[in-house]
Chains A and B, each alone.
Chain A
Amino acid sequence: DVKVTQSSRYLVKRTGEKVFLECVQDMDHENMFWYRQDPGLGLRLIYFSYDVKMKEKGDIPEGYSVSREKKERFSLILESASTNQTSMYLCASARDRVGSNQPQHFGDGTRLSIL
């Protein structure tokens, strides 16, 4: 089974802090994704990566950055946390994009509160 592990289930930070959310997958997947999920707004894609050191902006990248130094690890960074970034953050991974039809597999999520 695919295992996607997010470093924290719950996290509380203060406005202005730099926040790191970590995600590790154990299936050698090329593709990794970060979403946030808010009531009434569904899943919104923040950033994704098709390979090590590659990143692409999703639909709502403002206020976020990412890092992918190793294939199995994809980090989401809130440069200067704000209260409107309070949300559930979900990491997902999938087999590579070339000719791929493989689904994404999600981690358990991190519920982040910014005070």
Chain B
Amino acid sequence: QKEVEQNSGPLSVPEGAIASLNCTYSDRGSQSFFWYRQYSGKSPELIMSIYSNGDKEDGRFTAQLNKASQYVSLLIRDSQPSDSATYLCAVLNAGKSTFGDGTTLTVKP
């Protein structure tokens, strides 16, 4: 079992819809959780951080964390074609991050 697992994807949604990206992790000692966006041929860019259970909203993005279920998700509201990218979930423990393999999202106009 991988330490961090994400929806295998690819995920395709129409423009304006909600995109839901999911991530589970195995280490219960994990402290911090991040979502990165990576456009094709580019490096990962941090878009959300979440540290405690519940929801955290930033514009059209909402991160959700449930430590009991070892689950973190990213919701993108009003999806735009510019959101088309691979989204990486990262889980931090003792200064070292473990990354999921990513979910590729395509938003169709």
Q: Which residues of A contact B (CB under 8 A)?
A: 31, 41-43, 45, 48, 50, 90, 94, 96-98, 100-109
Whether A106 contacts B99 by the Cβ 8 Å rule is no
Q: Which of chain A's residues have a CB closer than 8 A to the CB of B51?
A: 101
In contact, A104 and B90 (Cβ under 8 angstroms): yes
Residues from chain A with Cβ under 8 Å of B43 in the complex: 90, 106-109
Interface members, chain B 15-60 (any A CB < 8 Å) = 31-32, 34, 36, 42-46, 49, 51
Number of interface residues of B (CB under 8 A): 22
Cross-chain contact A103 with B101 (CB below 8 angstroms) = no
Report B's interface with A, CB cutoff 8 A. Answer: 31-32, 34, 36, 42-46, 49, 51, 88, 90, 92, 94-97, 99-102
